[in-house]
Amino acid sequence: MPSIISIVKASLLVLPALASASGTLGVALGIHKVNDQTCKTTEDFIADLKTIKKETGSTVVRIYTTSQCKAIASLAPALKATGSKAIVGLWPTGTDTIFMEETDAIVDALKSYADQILGVTVGSEHLYRKELTGEQLSKMIETVQKRTKEVAPNVPVGFADSWNKIQDGTADPAVAQSDLVLANAFSYWQGQEINNGTHSFVDDIMQALQHVQTIKKKTNVNFWVGETNWPTGGKDFEKAIPNVTNAARYWKEAICGILAWGVDTFVFEAFDEPWKPAEKNNDVERHWGIMDINGKPKFDLKCPNV
């Protein structure tokens, strides 16, 4: 099996625009308070953003909805107050009015806070869950582009999905339409032992990136790792064992590593969310935070050389 170093060196052949500088670290952020699940206020978001910056150095976050909890209306002023930025997700499925409400909310926010918005994503893993086709997602992205570019022409619009749905061609119509692509990859959900966690993650992301570059017919693309991390609790998944030791190693090797190689990367997620339901007798979804519910880091969150 080739070493992780050899894979990275080969990958850098297709990363000329990225290899000269470190990538940007972003952190996924929930919109509900962890203690009672009520909606976060602007003051709550300000506190979150300050904690994230203090513990990680990051001033970039990602959310997944604009209208639920009036999320973008509450977050946008907090971004400006703290000098932070965000990639903002729209939730495009559900009732007939959700997509319209989500789009209206981001358009309204962009009128006053375009400088705080790094990008807009339509959906999160909707192709992976087979809730949309690539063609349907492409049309939704185009609709959002037309609306947002009327008020903020320089804000990119795209989508986020699992790395394999990008690599295997499922997302090709959406990739072609997008200004921005986020690829999610979790070595835990690949059932990898921690010794192979970084190797698996980098390989998955590079496959997705190379396919995006092929579809876009250029190497300089607006591409992020949309989600990655290693859980600190829950049940083993095949060879993947969730605990703090493995999460700390994955942070240092996989996350800090890919940032050092110049790839912009979002970590999922900022804080544990203990209210999330267990699935198939596995409560792992409660343990993805790099910090606990009180904002205490579970391990050292600074990346050397980044």
CB proximity list for 267: less than 8 A, separation 6 or greater: 25, 26, 27, 28, 227, 228, 229, 255, 290
Catalytically annotated residue among 43, 55, 102, 125: 125
Its domain, for residue 20, covers 4-286
Average pLDDT over residues 229-244: 98
CA 21 to chain centroid: 20
Q: Does 27 map to a domain? A: yes
The proportion of the chain whose per-residue pLDDT surpasses 90, expressed as a percent, equals 89
CATH of the domain at 32: 3.20.20.80
Q: Is 125 a catalytic residue?
A: yes
Calculate what percentage of the chain has a pLDDT beyond 70: 93
| Contact present, 176 and 166 (Cβ < 8 Å) | no
Q: Is the pLDDT of residue 141 over 50?
A: yes
Split into its structural domains, the chain has a count of: 1
For position 95, what pLDDT does the model report?
Answer: 84
**Residue 102 domain-assigned (yes or no):** yes
Sorting pLDDT into bands at 50, 70 and 90, what band is 306? confident
Contacts of 160 (CB under 8 A, 6+ apart): 89, 121, 123, 124, 125, 181, 182, 183, 184, 226, 227
Mean pLDDT, residues 106-123 taken together: 98
Domain membership of residue 300 (yes or no) is no
* Average pLDDT of span 109-116: 98
Kindly state whether residue 58 falls inside one of the protein's structural domains. Answer: yes
- Would you call 102 a catalytic residue per the annotation? no
Residue 301 within a domain: no
Which pLDDT belongs to residue 280?
85
Is residue 271, in this structure, part of any structural domain at all? yes
Please check the confidence at residue 5 and state whether its pLDDT lies above 70: no
Q: Does any domain span residue 107? A: yes
- In this structure, is residue 295 part of a structural domain? no
Average pLDDT value for the chain: 93
Name the catalytic one among 55, 102, 227, 273.
227
Six-digit token string for 248: 């700390």
pLDDT digits (tens, 9 = 90+) for 175-201: 999 999 999 999 999 999 999 999 999
